[in-house]
Every structure is written in structure tokens, then in C-alpha cells.
Amino acid sequence: MNTKEVFEQVSDMEEQIGQLYQQLGDLKIHLSELLEENHRLAHENHHLRQRLDQSIEEESERDDSTTNQKRAIENIGEGYDNLARLYEEGFHICNVHFGSPRQNEDCLFCLSFLNKTKE
């Protein structure tokens, strides 16, 4: 190997090292982009998860209010039954004589109240 060949090899290596160094720089840029994107996606994921939890919560609250409405309707039915029973047992349920004994007479106020409540 003469001096010229050695020089050429050294300058080839120098060129290769220069290319490798540039590739390393590109990889570093790419890596930092990936890290940034990863950070952004993690943030977005966290945000979406919160939104999801929130809407699941809202949905279960909506279910609760539907259940409450059903329960309220049932209570109205129960209330009517209780009033009807009270009337059957001989007491006024009308606002005119409420709670006082009917003395075995039908009361028009009570009856109209019962009919009104039933509808």
C-alpha cells in the first residue's frame, strides 16, 4: 500500500464518518419528533379518557333520573291506592273534610277527587 492509497482510504473513512454523523443527527431529530408525538398522544389519550369517564358518568346519572321518574310514578300510584283505601275505610280524602269520618255516606268531593287523581 503506497502513501497515496493510504491517503485515499483515510479520506474515504472520513467521508463515511461524516455521513454516519449526519445520519446520527437525522436520527436524533426523528427521535425527538417521536418523543414529542408520543407526549402529545399520551396527553390526548388522557383527555379522551376523562371525556369518556365523564360521559359514562352522565349516562349513569341519566339512568338514575329515569329510575327516579319511574319510582315517582309508582309513588303516585301508591298514593292513589292509599287514598282510595282510606276512603273505603270510611274517611274523607277531599280537601273539604280530609281525614274526618264519612259516616257511611259517599262524598261527592271525595269521589271527584279520586276520579281526578286517577286520570
Based on the shown chain and the rule CB under 5 A, indicate whether residue 110 belongs to the binding site for Zn ion: yes
CA angle centred on 116, ends 76 and 114, rounded to 5°: 75
Rounded Cα–Cα distance for residues 91 and 98 (Å): 7
CA distance 90 to 105: 8
Residue 114 interacting with Zn ion (CB under 5 A): no
Our finding on whether 97 is near Zn ion (CB under 5 A) is: yes
Say how far apart CA 25 and CA 19 lie, in whole Å.
10
Quote the least distance from Cβ 55 to Zn ion, whole Å: 51
Q: In this structure, what C-alpha cell is assigned to residue 54?
A: 365523564
Q: Which stretch binds Zn ion (CB under 5 A): 27-35, 42-50, 59-67, 97-105?
A: 97-105
Closest to Zn ion by CB, 5 vs 105, is 105
Site of interaction with Zn ion (CB under 5 A): 92, 94, 97, 107, 109-110
